A = this chain, B = another copy of it.
């Protein structure tokens, strides 16, 4: 018998009608003989409403009470789905995180899962019941309600699949899979049948926001077969697994990820002595600013230039901090550019093939696009360019690496 863990996100359960539609899908899958554990998010919008209330009541809401508050969202949807399934004659049973129980550490609002009890779930599955679990939430040793942070329902699903040794963990969302790049930018972007965990990690952290990065890490670690599918249409979606399974047919490049809300900051003429990088990034990190790309080239004489990118909204804050640091460490200058975008080629295939980078740079040169920064990892080449060239660059590279669907042709 096949055991599936299915996760439905906030847009999939956003209304009573949609909850009924999810029930139809689940009941159909149960009817053909699958054992099913269903993980749900809160109705979309609910978590934000509750957050808004909390901030109206307390300037910096207590994390413990925030978790008590936020966990009501999934508790609402699991009960409604259980009712909808029973209405269809499909026996079902809902569990809050505390009831399962999903044991976490005590880090309220960003807890990590330590263990999940199987006992009740197994018993219900053996009795032919669909088990419905509230995503995003757990309890700590003391019985306090905890939550896993944004997107935590994906993590709940993957963790359940790992513990139960499920045949597949299916993440239902509002897109029908992982694409070679954003179809809004490149018309003939193609849905990928397979990607590896590593590729997915690079893709999701780079802006292709299909899956929560943490849940992909988790799936990778415990080797949980993942699949991303649409809640709203039929289709095979995209399978995400370990490399071995599908290496034979791996293309050089799987996709192009990009993000356009970045700012680039450089500190020039940093003395070339140990500890400088820490002196720069210590205060930035302490201010809660997330740094994305960091580039430091070989220095000239006794100084180095360090460049990094941050989210555009953090530009002013980061710039101010950097000015102060520059004064302190006697750096020469600070440069800020908040009109940049980042683009990354991702593919496990590039590991064993030279020439990917040069083809990438050649393609951009042909379009007269200047490359400002370059960083690479084993399966990824990222560049930072002027923002206005982003879409042109994505389309040109998508064509150059023949990522498109051959049935329709890109207009670019």
* Residues in A lying within 8 Å of B, measured CB to CB: 16, 19-20, 50, 53-54, 56-59, 61-62, 64-66, 68-69, 71-72, 75-76, 78-80, 82-84, 86-87, 93-94, 96, 98-99, 143-145
Contact = CB atoms under 8 A, between A and B. Distances in A.
24 contacts: A16-B53, A16-B56, A19-B57, A53-B80, A54-B80, A54-B83, A57-B80, A57-B87, A58-B87, A61-B83, A62-B83, A65-B82, A65-B83, A65-B86, A65-B94, A66-B79, A68-B78, A68-B79, A68-B96, A69-B79, A71-B75, A72-B76, A75-B75, A98-B98
A214 B19 CA distance: 36
A64 B64 CA distance: 27
Chain A contact residues, majority secondary structure: helix
Nearest to A66: B79
A64 B56 CA distance: 33
Query: 3 shortest A-B CB distances, which residue pairs?
Result: A69-B79, A58-B83, A72-B72
Contacts of A66: 79, 83
B68 A84 contact: no
Contacts of A98: 98
A373 B335 CA distance: 93
A87 to B, nearest CB: 4
A278 to B, nearest CB: 36
- Most chain B CB neighbours (cut-off 10 Å) among A66, A69, A75, A99: A69
Contacts of A72: 72, 75-76
Contact of A57 (B62, B84, B99): B84
A76 B62 CA distance: 14
B68 A94 contact: yes
Contact of A16 (B57, B61, B65, B86): B57
A98 B96 CA distance: 11
Given A16-B57, A68-B75, A68-B79, 4 more contacts: A16-B53, A64-B93, A65-B82, A68-B82
A66 B84 CA distance: 12
A258 B93 CA distance: 44
Contacts of A82: 62, 65, 68
A87 B61 CA distance: 8
Given A76-B50, A98-B98, A84 B58 contact: yes
A86 B82 CA distance: 36
A71 B96 CA distance: 12
B75 A69 contact: yes
Contacts of A99: 143-145
Given A71-B75, A80-B69, A82-B62, A57 B20 contact: yes
A119 to B, nearest CB: 12
A280 to B, nearest CB: 37
